[in-house]
Amino acid sequence: MPPQANEVSQNSQAACDCLSTSFPDKTLLRGTPAYELARSQYWTRVQQEASPACIFQPVDAPDVSAALLILKQFNCPFAIKSGGHGKFHGESSIDNGVTIDLAYINHINLSEDGRTVVVGPGNRWREVYMALQPFGLTAIGGRASTVGVGGFLLGGTLRIFDKDGGISFFTNIYGFAMDNIRSFEVVLADGSVVNADKQTSPDLYKALRGSGANLGIVTSFTLDTIPYTGMYGGHRIFEPRQSEAVMSAFLKYGDNIQKDPKAFVILAITTEEEKWIWATGMYYCDKLMDAPAFRDLKAIPAVLDDSQVQEQTDLIESMASSYPCSIQNTFWVLSTKPNAHILRYMVKTWAEEMNHVREVEGMKAQLAIQYFSDGVIMRGTRRGGNALGSSIEEPFIMYNAEPQWAHAEDTPRVLAAVEAAFRRTEAEAKRCAVLVDYLYSNYASQYQDPFGSYSQQARVFIKRTADKYDPDGVFQRLRGAGFKLTGTLSSATAKEELERRKTLHLNL
């Protein structure tokens, strides 16, 4: 059983005392400048506000192993942080437990033949791409420079600007990032350090590709490298009156995605200076300015177009600038079959619900839309498949809410509005028989259950593998951050939490 609330503080203090004695230079205690600096490295403000009893910063797998054994000994809850790019409190942060901060496990080692690169989870994708680019190489990784390697690679299958599993500019060519991992170095619940690949531990290797941090703490990834020759990318901004043309062009792009998988489009409806606009990200995995895949989108007159030939490292910095640190935000995800009616319905419903909170200070009401080919799914069967066990055999569209706002007091209203838009669209997609039962965990909110969207066969496989490698359930009992193998992270819906807060306010 997990420790009760009144036990947590005592257990955590005992664990921190032991860690501090054994690793004085790697254990950051409350009230110290180093502790506060480490807390500040999270992306969102709500994660920065978490207050662990202490923060442990290992430099290698033996450090992680020793820390995990200490945490088990004292029955102490813990969180695992890679880049800290999670969007809600408790995704990779914890109150009163111990945060294992992997920031200093940040090696990058290119193989002699250049076919693989070994990277630590503490890297950001900026560092990985900069190390590979001089060799004419890159890896399947995140699209924002500030995203951490570990969380991105271990998440669901996809996240939009980005986080777990994971979506890359190159996804339609090579599949999801997790399907390009050769092997894992992972610390298991008993403290052992093992190398998991298709040959040595095929079950563990498969389960790690899509099960998050539910089986162990990964301290190194061996990734495929791919040729890199430069990129083209940027944004075209359209006015709301052009909505029909923009959505039609996006669907045409998707219909032809297999003809040119080097092209990737992110369609976004968002607010800018109190008005709605379309912001369309167009990216091409080569130095080609006039790719036929973008022809229909480029035929629509744009208010602004900053697309140009540039390096991947420039594109990921631009992407990151759209998602500043220390803000209030949320994510929510929904997948459907490509369908013009549902695309229009989602956009209309999103605008209706978000107009209820448009006056919220700092509000940027962005909804991102991505189209994935059936080839992406098929590439997931390489090397024995991944943990998703997805039954998706056709192209699908993923809708991802990613609003931003300024103040925490507005959070319940915004979350309820986002939830309403997605619940309405989900119901309409079900009615039209186009709902795809897949929730990408890197985009999922704390009110969603990404593992519940996996196939029954996949859930049984992950549970069986977890029971084998973590028979005492350490990562289900004591890991107090991130999605578990069952259920949502919140016991109530966003609407229920908003009503509860209203009632509390009225009773004060």
Q: Using CB atoms within 10 Å of the CB of residue 310, give its burial: 0 to 12 exposed, 13 to 18 middle, 19+ buried.
A: middle
Tally of CB atoms within 10 A around 178: 26
pLDDT in tens, 226-240: 999 999 999 999 999
Domain boundary among 101, 132, 150: 101
Clarify whether residues 55 and 130 are in a common domain. no
pLDDT in tens, 132-158: 999 999 999 999 998 999 988 986 333
Which positions ≥6 away from 484 have C-beta within 8 Å?
A: 214, 451, 476
Q: How confident is the model at residue 88 (pLDDT cuts 50, 70, 90)?
A: confident
369: three-class secondary structure by DSSP: strand
Residue 270: inside a domain, yes or no?
A: yes
Residue 415: inside a domain, yes or no?
A: yes
pLDDT in tens, 169-188: 998 889 888 889 999 999 99
Residue whose C-alpha is closest to residue 270's, from 299, 235, 307, 294: 235
If residue 465 lies in a helix (H) or strand (E), which one and from where to where?
helix 456-469
Clarify whether residues 93 and 115 are in a common domain. no
Clarify whether residues 373 and 337 are in a common domain. yes
Question: What's the one-letter identity of residue 167?
Answer: I
Clarify whether residues 274 and 162 are in a common domain. no
Clarify whether residues 24 and 172 are in a common domain. no
What's the mean pLDDT in 375-388?
59
Report the CATH number at residue 405.
3.40.462.20
pLDDT in tens, 404-437: 999 999 999 999 999 999 999 999 999 999 999 8
| Cα→Cα distances 312→82, 131, 177, Å | 22, 12, 16
Question: What's the one-letter identity of residue 304?
Answer: L
pLDDT in tens, 236-253: 999 999 999 999 999 999
Domain count, the chain: 3
Clarify whether residues 192 and 275 are in a common domain. no
Quote the pLDDT of residue 4.
58
Average pLDDT, the chain: 88
Domain boundary among 44, 78, 101: 101
Clarify whether residues 238 and 284 are in a common domain. yes
The answer on pLDDT for 507 being more than 70 is no
Residue 68: inside a domain, yes or no?
A: yes
- The CA distance from 375 to 173, in Å, is 8
Q: How confident is the model at residue 445 (pLDDT cuts 50, 70, 90)?
A: confident
Cβ atoms of 30 and 314 within 8 Å: the answer is no
Cβ atoms of 468 and 460 within 8 Å: the answer is no
* DSSP codes of every residue in 167-216: --TTHHHH--GGGGEEEEEEE-TTS-EEEEETTT-HHHHHHHTTSTTSS-
Domain boundary among 227, 262, 279: 227
Clarify whether residues 247 and 365 are in a common domain. yes
Clarify whether residues 208 and 280 are in a common domain. no
- The CA distance from 296 to 182, in Å, is 38
- The CA distance from 218 to 212, in Å, is 10
Quote the pLDDT of residue 31.
93
Q: Which domain holds residue 169?
A: 108-227
Residue 470: inside a domain, yes or no?
A: no
Q: Nearest 5°: CA angle at 11, between 10 and 15?
A: 120
Residue whose C-alpha is closest to residue 95's, from 83, 82, 78: 78
Clarify whether residues 192 and 282 are in a common domain. no
Clarify whether residues 222 and 138 are in a common domain. yes
Q: What is the 3-state secondary structure (H, E, C) of 23-88?
A: CCCCEEECCCHHHHHHHCCCCCHHHHCCCCCEEECCCCHHHHHHHHHHHHHCCCCEEEECCCCCCC
Residue 473: inside a domain, yes or no?
A: no
- The CA distance from 302 to 64, in Å, is 51
Clarify whether residues 96 and 120 are in a common domain. no
The answer on pLDDT for 99 being more than 50 is yes
Residue 385 is encoded by which pair of tokens?
Answer: 């498949």
Which positions ≥6 away from 40 have C-beta within 8 Å?
A: 48
pTM of the entire predicted model? 0.88
Residue 495: inside a domain, yes or no?
A: no
What's the mean pLDDT in 204-210?
89
Residue 118 is encoded by which pair of tokens?
Answer: 């070994």
Q: Give the β-pairing of 98-101 and 54-56.
A: parallel
Residue 51: inside a domain, yes or no?
A: yes
- What percent of the chain has pLDDT above 70? 88
Report the CATH number at residue 81.
3.30.43.10
Residue 439: inside a domain, yes or no?
A: yes
Quote the pLDDT of residue 139.
97
Quote the pLDDT of residue 382.
59
